[in-house]
Amino acid sequence: MSSIPASADRAAIASETKARGGARFWRLKSFARDRAAVFSALFLLVVILGAAFAPLIGHYGPDEADNLARYRPIGTLGHLLGTDQQGRDMLARLLFGGRVSLLVGVAPTLIAGVIGLGLGLIAGFVGGIVDQIVMRCLDVVFAFPMVLLAIAIAGAMRPGVLTEIIAITIVLIPYFGRLARTATQGVTPMPFIEAARAAGGAPVTIMLRYVLPNVFSPVVVYATTLMGLMIVVGAGLSFLGLGVQPPTADWGAMVAEGRVVLRRAAHVTILPGCAILVVSLAFNFLGDGIRDALDPRTIRR
């Protein structure tokens, strides 16, 4: 007698898993059909690998100055992308600079995503006075234009990569917090949460096991779409001299250095800017692709 419902349950679970697997496959398929997103993902992979294995590519170090080979244009033999005003190899600087620029764009988005997700989840799930306090604090950060607050925070601290990461993380947290709170408030009144409560689940368990998975995916989508913008913001801070100090390479700092010799050798300015532009564009395409694949409302015809 008791075995029948159990097997029925098992069948239900099996078909449920199948359906879920199907949905996952459908999402993957929908993402794979988005050519811009797939190409962007591959491109970013190449950029990340290039930055990671920078020491293995090319013959020059990023800070290796050569007074006899200054201002070489793009396409020079031995210096594929030319050299800057100190005779340093542009390709090597771009690859090594990519390490810093990618880190400054990606790390704050991830850290702020986790902190914002936590704050929004707690504010939305607990509600009441906790919600009020958290949201009013986030409102204060929203009152600043994003770039201004990042500049002011980084400007008060000692310049460096860590400073940039902290500054951008702080200005990003409210964006994730607000999103996670809205998503949490959308999930909390659902019947399955009510059922979990009726079954006697502890609030923390319910929050982590049933609410969190449903809030997770909008936050991931948002994080991907924000990374492109954060690469640009991070480069802006570096351009102002708030990040790595010379001679260390970083795309934003390279634009600032190239600016001095804009008339003489424009490629020193143009190349790092192109790197920022293309990588931020690729992140934007990737974000759009992931959003479309995860959002059931955007069914492709």
Partner 1 sequence: MASFLIRRLVGVLPVILGVSIVIFLLVQLAPGDATTVLLGPQATEAAKAELRQALGLDQPLPFQYLAWLKRMLSGDFGVGIATQIPVTSLVGPRFLNTLILTFSSLLLAMAIGYSVGLFAALRAHSLFDRLSMSVALLAGSAPPFWLGLILVLLFAIELRWLPVSGMQDMAGAGGAVDMLRHLVLPTVTTALGPAAIIARIVRSTVLEALSKPHVRVARAKGLGRAALLRRHVVLNALPPVITITGLQLGYLLGGALLTEVVFAWPGLGSLLYDSITARDLPVIQATALVVALSFVLANIAVDMINVILDPRLREA
Rounded to the nearest whole angstrom, what is the least distance from the CB of residue 230 to partner 1 in the complex? 12
Q: CA 264 to CA 85: how far, in whole Å?
A: 9
Minimum distance from residue 243 beta carbon to partner 1 (Å): 12
Q: Do 229 and 105 form a contact (C-beta atoms < 8 A)?
A: no
Half-sphere exposure of 175 (CA within 13 A, CB side): 24
Task: Name 62's Cβ contacts closer than 8 Å, sequence gap at least 6.
Answer: 54, 88, 89, 92, 93, 95, 96, 97, 247, 248, 249
The rounded distance, in Å, linking the Cα atoms of 179 and 123 is 11
* Residue 67 burial by Cβ neighbours in a 10 Å radius (0-12, 13-18, 19+): exposed
Find the shortest distance in angstroms from Cβ 167 to partner 1.
9
> In the bound complex, what is the minimum distance in angstroms from residue 124's beta carbon to partner 1?
21
What CA–CA distance (Å, rounded) separates 70 from 83? 6
CB of 211 to partner 1, least distance (A): 28
Please identify which residue in the block is written with the tokens 């948002």.
222
In whole angstroms, the minimum distance from the beta carbon of 192 to partner 1 comes to 32
- Cα–Cα dist 76/74, whole Å: 6
Subset of residues 272 to 301 that bind partner 1, contact rule: CB under 8 A: 272-273, 276-277, 280-281, 284
| Binding flag, residue 235, partner 1 (CB under 8 A) | yes
String of contacts with partner 1 for each residue 181-220, x by CB under 8 A: ----------------------------------------
CA 269/CA 231 separation, integer angstroms = 17
Nearer to partner 1, 177 or 212 (CB): 177
CB of 148 vs partner 1, minimal distance in Å:
5
Q: Pick from 130, 261, 270, 294: which binds partner 1 (CB under 8 A)?
A: 270
CB of 140 to partner 1, least distance (A): 3
Residue 248 amino acid letter:
T
Helix (H) or strand (E) holding 271: helix 267-294
Q: Which is nearer to partner 1, 113 or 236 (CB)?
A: 236
| Residue 116 or 174 having the CB closest to partner 1 | 174
Q: Does 239 participate in binding partner 1 (rule CB under 8 A)?
A: yes
Does residue 236 bind partner 1 (CB under 8 A)?
A: yes
d(CA 62, CA 17): 51
From 23, 32, 110, 262, residue interacting with partner 1 (rule: CB under 8 A)? 262
Window 128 to 167, contacts with partner 1 (CB under 8 A): 136-137, 139-141, 143-149, 151-153, 155-158
What the block records as the tokens of 161 is 């990569």
DSSP-based three-state secondary structure for 21: helix
Q: Count how many Cα atoms sit within 13 Å of the Cα of residue 101 in the half-sphere of its side chain.
A: 36
Residue 77 or 158: which CB sits closer to partner 1?
A: 158
State the DSSP string of 215-235: HHHHHHHHHHHHHHHHHHHHH
Q: Restricting to residues 76-135, which ones interact with partner 1 according to CB under 8 A?
A: none
* Residues within the interface to partner 1 (CB under 8 A): 136-137, 139-141, 143-149, 151-153, 155-158, 228, 232, 235-236, 239-242, 252, 255, 258-259, 262-263, 266, 269-270, 272-273, 276-277, 280-281, 284
